[in-house]
Chain A
Amino acid sequence: MESGVALADAERRLKAYVAALWGIDPPLRPLPQDGDPAAMRPRFDDALVRLPAVWPGMDLYRAALAHVGAHRMFSRPWPARGLKPLLILVVSLFEDARVEHLAMRRLPGLRRLWAPFHRTEPSASLMAADLMERMARALFDPAYRDGNAWVDKGQRLFFERPDRWDDPDFSLMLGGTLAGDLGKMRVQINARGHRVEPPYRDDNGGLWLHDTPPEPPRDVDDPLDAVRPDRIEAEQSDRRDGPPRSLPRPAPFAVADAAAMQPVARHPEWDHRIGLHRPDFVRVVECVPERRPMSDAPDDRRLTSRVHALIRHAVVARPERLRRQREGDRLDLDACIAAAVARCQGHAPDMQVYQRVRRRGRDLSALLLLDASQSTNDPAGDGTVLDLERRSADLLAGALDAAGDRFALAGFRSDGREAVQWLPVKRFGDAYDEAARGRLAGLDGRWSTRMGAAIRHAGSLLAGQPTLRRLLLLVTDGEPSDIDCPDPRHLVEDARKAVQELAGRGIDVVCVALGGDPGTHHHIFGRRNVLAVDRVERLPGLLPAIYAKLTG
């Protein structure tokens, strides 16, 4: 156990590995830790791949994922109803071999990955488990010679017909034949306690459709759960897709006083079913967040200085050539020529003949808009998603303020169409001072995400900015939803329309997605305007980099 690799440490590498190999990205989850880790086998279904939380080495994890990926590419689950456990075991054995050989046709290097795990040797044992393990090796390695009649027969039948490997029914046919033979040999088999060998292979659960699926291991007591935002995403996504199941709690406003909360605008909403705007459908109320002390989370000095340097560089390191200068570091050729011509003609030459390069400011306004809905209270890193949003926004805002880019900062959430809350933290004209930081700290997450209205309101603020480029940077962890919209498509289409309207006014909208369905985000913002952050914990470092890249 001590000398193993932990799934939590290797997860990102493994996800990238399986994505590179097969172009799929299933969420990886740890298996519940009960019993001997050496006896644990991977398990997969349509949605998840479960792996032991600790395993002896990276290669075992990689071999397991390459194998599961091969199933996902080449297998299709069979109905298990009415089949004998023995038949299921033998068919699975052939299916494992079949998909591995198909995978090795495409990626021959996988042989080197899997081969070291097939270590069993010929023996006289007639135990079913031993026979199966030797069959697994015989079907993997055509050069292996076992000597047992049953194993040899399976190997011969399998390698006789490589042209049939593309057909899943081939496994069913061979498995049926060989299971029959095994039955006649009266070999005792403990189907329920059977352990698949070699260890990288999954427990075959994903290959068979059971009428009542075997209870998936519940791992509520898994301590890692508390720090895994994406698992909540995958398993409770229904909460965000539709209207929230539980109505918002009647909690007190997080505002200083009632006067701070006033309606500021009404915006239309797009109804995709009738193809028309519903005029003045949504009311935006502005409520200035209550000032709170900024959290005393330790300042990461290195990150702060790196972000400042990055933004300063992006903001000021844009060279501009100034021509016809009285002094400068290079001659301005055109000015020299004009001066020489003037002198030849007997005129007094203009002696401003130098050019120099100046760093210039930018013609850009940016609005950073944070999702402050209930779902941002989900745990992430050391705190919540909203904590990370806040910390990232604070870092970016501090750097932008120091560098002098025009920007504003606000949050949004909604509680039905009459109460879309706009939470201004810093307006375009204001400084990013202690008061603004206090308001940022006062943002709290509640209610829903009526994205279209927030985008339109942000657009109306950006439209008034006198710069050439105007950018709305929206940070969200989910998809549009609100309590009064049972049709999830409605708000998605509305948000999409809002983005298009802003684009039509020359305002770029870019979404930084901390979760939610990528397809929905692509639909709303356009594929190239969505930047998915795979690890929410990395947001504080990434957000400024995203900003610098977008505007650089």
Chain B
Amino acid sequence: MALQSYRIEREPYYRPTGDEIALFEAAHADRMPVMLKGPTGCGKTRFIEHMAWRLGRPLVTVACNEDLTASDLVGRHLLETQGTVWQDGPLTLAVRHGALCYLDEIVEARADTTVVIHPLTDERRALPLDKRNELVAAHPDFQLVVAYNPGYQSVAKDLKESTKQRFAALEFGYPAAGIEADIVAHESGIEPALARRVVAVGERSRNLRGRGLEEGASTRMLIHAGRLIARGVAPEAACRMAVVLPLTDDPDLRDALAAAVGACF
């Protein structure tokens, strides 16, 4: 009951690209901690929402940042007229009541914060709350899922080996052109033939990855372009607004990408 608002009522659209649903279900059956790796906007968060819905579990999501402390995850004491009361943090909530706890962009969190999940991710399956002198045994339905983008080229942002090795991992990438076109058509409501053209724009930008662009257009960007087109914007203008301009400030690359967009329609 405590997690009623964390339940997902309607099926989130997710188009599988391989056997990731079966793999995740197997990992979930064993409550194995799972790590989702992949570039930005390729569908990691959507996947976990879909799986939470499919498995009928509530989903507690925490977007990690570098100022996230252990007590932001675990909980803290609050003051009331009668004295202090303990307020569970999102992680404790999921552990107590049996939810999927999804830590998005886990590498952004500080190393001392990430270690609080260690006892939850091995045989102990328990969360010690040292401030309360309590050991919360995980609910049988609790499962921990983390996500991160391994493309960050920052030596300061990498998971510790001791954290990494606690997880099974699923790798996500941008889907194959046909599947991606289905996704763009479904999410934006444009015609499949047009969606294929938008996906071709995405491929053009991904060709520039490592040749000036750090990352090509994500599926999310392409959906944005599709939505603009569905609102009546001309395809080239929509791609310029949703793909070319956000991706780069380099005038040469912009020019090249805009010309390549022109070739797609």
Give me the interface of A with B, judged by CB distance under 8 Å.
Answer: 12-17, 19-23, 25, 62, 66, 106-110, 112-113, 318-319, 321, 333-334, 336-337, 340-341, 344, 364, 469, 471, 508, 510, 528-529, 531-532, 534, 549-552
Contact = CB atoms under 8 A, between A and B. Distances in A.
Contacts of A17: 255-256, 259-260
B207 A552 contact: no
B45 interface: no
B155 A471 contact: yes
B232 interface: no
Interface in B195-212: 197, 200, 204-205, 207-208, 210-212
A14 B255 CA distance: 9
Nearest to A530: B210
A364 to B, nearest CB: 8
A23 B153 CA distance: 23
Interface in B24-41: none
Interface in B155-199: 155-156, 197
B69 A337 contact: no
Interface in B228-265: 252-253, 255-257, 259-265
A129 to B, nearest CB: 30
Contact of B67 (A13, A321, A333): A321
B256 A534 contact: no
**Lowest 6 CB-CB distances: which A-B pairs, in order?**
A16-B256, A20-B260, A17-B256, A109-B263, A23-B207, A508-B155
9 contacts: A13-B253, A14-B256, A17-B260, A20-B260, A21-B260, A108-B264, A319-B67, A337-B79, A340-B79
Tell me the dominant secondary structure on chain A's binding face: helix
Interface in B121-155: 150-151, 153-155
A13 B79 contact: no
Given A66-B263, A552-B154, 13 more contacts: A16-B211, A16-B252, A17-B255, A17-B256, A19-B208, A20-B260, A108-B265, A337-B77, A340-B84, A344-B83, A471-B155, A531-B153, A532-B210
A334 B262 CA distance: 58
Given A17-B256, A112-B262, A549 B154 contact: yes
A20 B79 contact: no
Interface of B: 66-67, 69, 71, 76-79, 83-84, 150-151, 153-156, 197, 200, 204-205, 207-208, 210-212, 252-253, 255-257, 259-265
Nearest to A551: B156
Contacts of B83: 341, 344
B156 A109 contact: no
A20 B155 contact: no
B155 A469 contact: yes
A534 B211 contact: yes
Given A16-B256, A20-B260, A333 B76 contact: yes
A107 B263 contact: yes
B200 A106 contact: yes
B60 to A, nearest CB: 22
Contacts of B208: 16, 19-20
B155 A21 contact: no
Contact of A550 (B69, B153, B207, B212): B153
Contact of B263 (A110, A318, A341, A532): A110
A534 B213 CA distance: 12
Contacts of B259: 17, 62
A535 to B, nearest CB: 10
A16 B77 contact: no
A528 B262 contact: no
Nearest to A106: B200
Contacts of A25: 211
Given A321-B67, A508-B155, A337 B84 contact: yes
Contacts of B207: 19-23
A21 B200 contact: no
A62 B263 CA distance: 10
B76 A20 contact: no
Nearest to A333: B76
Given A13-B255, A66-B263, A109-B263, A334 B71 contact: yes
Contacts of B257: 16, 20
Residue of A19, A23, A108, A471 contacting most chain B CB atoms (<10 Å): A19
Nearest to B85: A337
B252 A12 contact: yes
A109 B265 contact: yes
A62 B255 CA distance: 11
B263 A334 contact: no
A552 B84 CA distance: 39
A502 B182 CA distance: 45
Given A344-B83, A550-B153, A107 B200 contact: yes
A523 B158 CA distance: 21
Residue of A13, A508, A534, A552 contacting most chain B CB atoms (<10 Å): A13
A444 to B, nearest CB: 31
Contacts of B66: 318
